[in-house]
Amino acid sequence: MTDWESLSKEHKVQLNHVVTLLHRKYPDVLSRESIAGLVMDSYTRLAARAKVTKWLVPFAERLAGERLQALTLLEEGAARTIPTVLFLCTHNAGRSQMALGWFHHLAGDNAIAWSGGSEPAGELNPVAVKAMDEVGIDISKGFPKPWTDEVLAAAHIVITMGCGDSCPILPGKDYEEWEVSDPDGQPLEVVEAIRDDLETRVRDLLVRIGATDIWSGRE
């Protein structure tokens, strides 16, 4: 496990800056000390599997930001009306990232979605990235990450894809298992078919959760 003392001086400075930024953005959610712990925990989780360490700090900032966003939504409780979805697969490198890409593209600000994996890979599936780019959706800035308790608790619907018993189960959540083929190791034409399957599923999901008013067809 990574600890503060083992970090490089550069990463210490960068992470302190991240803590300051997140505390300014979410001043009423957690104390600065607690946000620092959340940032360090996010960094540690990503560092365990990262293949390219130069992106660890910005990725940790984004993961910690998602967790703080989820905590904010949880605080709103019954007053919250915006639907939230969590896409889960094993490696968070292909299917769940593609589904998230479609969701963000089609839902805009009408709904919130996150993704995660039970055993996150070290990098995104490049063929999945290429297939999504073909339809004008850039998922290359995403990164495999673990699911977290905060995000799981804040999600209204949890979509699982092939992670079986390793996917977290929280009583009271609406779970759906999507039987979508794994793009790992598949050629582009197979991944394109998976991409189109996910588009259909995400569009149907958006209809069901009432987040459909910004789109009418593939752009």
**Residues involved in catalysis:** 89, 163, 167
56-76 vs 9-25: helix crossing angle, rounded to 10: 20
CA angle 134, 138, 140 (to 5 degrees): 115
Q: Note whether 44 and 5 are within 8 A (CB).
A: no
Nearest to 42 by CA among 143, 154, 134, 125: 143
Rounded CA separation 194/131 (Å)? 9
Return d(Cα 94, Cα 215) in angstroms, integer: 24
- Between CA 143 and CA 166 the distance in angstroms is 20
Residues 6+ apart with CB under 8 A from 152: 86, 158, 168, 170, 173
Ramachandran angles phi, psi of 116, nearest 5°:
-165, 170
DSSP letter at 190?
Answer: H
